[in-house]
Structure 1
Amino acid sequence: MRISELSRRTGVPVPTIKYYVREGLLPSGELTSPNQANYSETHERRLRLIRALLDVGGLKVAAIAEVLGAVDDPARPVHKVLGAVADRLGTAHSDDDDAESAAASAVVAELIARRGWRTHESNPAAGDLTRALAAMWRVGHGAFVELLDDYADAAELVARADLDYVGRRVAVDELVESVVIGTVLGEAVFNAMRRLVHVDASARLFGRDTAAETESKVAD
């Protein structure tokens, strides 16, 4: 297909596609003349992956280049490829060094050790968790740490489901795409479901008056 067709099929403007080619994110098309090139479904799939990493994963172009470099490295074990993607999905690093951050960091390190997770507190996700817990301490909800093991139980179930889905894929680029979907979109799905259940649980615990009013209106 020509670049115009690739643009139409993916919704990515032609100048943007050319930019990705210049930056090495997208391979060049096969030249058919000095000013024309053909692109394949492989280019389309790579372009969609780039957009997923950019738009859904929130990665910068430089980070995407690192991820795609891992994907294209045949000597890189699949676990390392998946790790390269997951490590780029966290938020920006923060240098907070207050008492809340120190306490949260210690809690996260202890949680990782207690759960036997094969990771380290230097992992970007651990940093995200540390910042979230520190923020809770600052607003007077430090007791939330009492729920961490409950959250960890749920997280392990969800992570196993994510990786079971990833394990059904064969090609490495499909594995990476699955990690983006499972980690980012899956997180959005889980959070949305969590909010729905919060509404239901709140209604069941505290909404008896509201339920009675609703039944009364229906009866009227």
Structure 2
Amino acid sequence: MRIGELSRRTGVPVPTIKYYVREGLLSAGELTSPNQASYSDAHERRLRLIRALLEVGGLSVASIRDVLGAVDDPDKSVHKVLGTATDGLVPRYAAGDESPAAREKVRELITRRGWRVDAAHPAAEALTEALAALERVGHGAFAEVLDDYASAAETVARADLAHVARHIGLDDLVEGVVVGTVIGDAMLAALRRLAQMDGSSRAYGEG
């Protein structure tokens, strides 16, 4: 297909497609004449992944380049590719901004749950900051239910991975993980509110 058709199929403007090619995010089309290039379904799939990483994941062009480099590296395991893609979805905090007590709680949780995760992972840092914030506002007791939250998170993570495992191509798999993580977070928050309303009605509602 020509670049115009690729643009129509993906909704990505032609100048943007050319920009992605210049930045090395998208391979150039196959030249069919000095001024014409042909693009394939592989270009369409890659463009969908780029859009998911950029628009849904909020990743920078540099981060997207890292993710795509991991996708195209035959020596990278699927686990490492997905890690590269999702690391950018987690907010990062400067070391030392949180309390030592909160950091220790996170380390203990990871050990207790037997999670194969580095305590310095961005998600662990984000959890540390959340616990520290709870302590600062006088609600540090929330840490008492941390294992309940962790059990729920494990259930959600298993559902996430079971769903994305249906994808065959690595591009589609990474896209599914990024979209599923970002939009899945919104879904999970909404479901939590609904469940809280139901629980409140049953516990405190009249009649």
- TM-score by structure 2 length? 0.93
- In 2, distance between residues paired with 1:10 and 1:199? 40
The higher-RCO structure (CA 8 Å, 6+ apart) is 2
Equivalent residues in 2 for 1:35-184 (5 A)?
35-91=35-91, 93-95=92-94, 97=96, 100-184=98-182
The worse-fitting range, judged by mean Cα deviation, of 13-22 and 192-201 is 192-201
CA RMSD of superposed structures (Å): 1.6
Give the Å deviation of 1:139: 1.4
Distance 1:199 1:173 in 2: 38
Which digits, 9 at most, give the CA deviation of each residue in 1:61-111, with x for residues without a partner?
1001000000001111111111111222111x222635x532211111110
Q: Percent identity?
A: 66
Q: CA deviation at 1:206?
A: 3.1
Q: 1:34 Cα deviation (Å)? A: 1.6
Once residues 96 and 87 of structure 1 are traced to their aligned partners in structure 2, the CA distance between those partners, rounded to angstroms, is 17
The question of whether the paired residues in 1 share the 8 Å contact of 2:71 and 2:171 is answered with yes
Partner Cα separation in structure 2 for residue 170 and residue 10 of structure 1: 20
Equivalence for 1:32: 32
Return the index of the structure with the highest Cα Rg.
Answer: 1
Aligned residue-pair number: 207
> Equivalent residue for 2:17?
17
> Cα distance 1:203–1:96, how it changes in 2: closer, same or farther (>3 A)?
farther
Q: Which amino acid aligns with 2:40?
A: S
TM-superposed CA distance for 1:169, in Å, is: 2.5
4+ runs deviating over 3 angstroms: none
Structure 2: stretches of 5+ with no match in the other structure: none
SS at match of 2:37: strand
CA contact (8 A) 2:93 2:126 kept: no
1:117 is paired with a residue whose SS is coil
TM-score, scaled relative to structure 1? 0.88
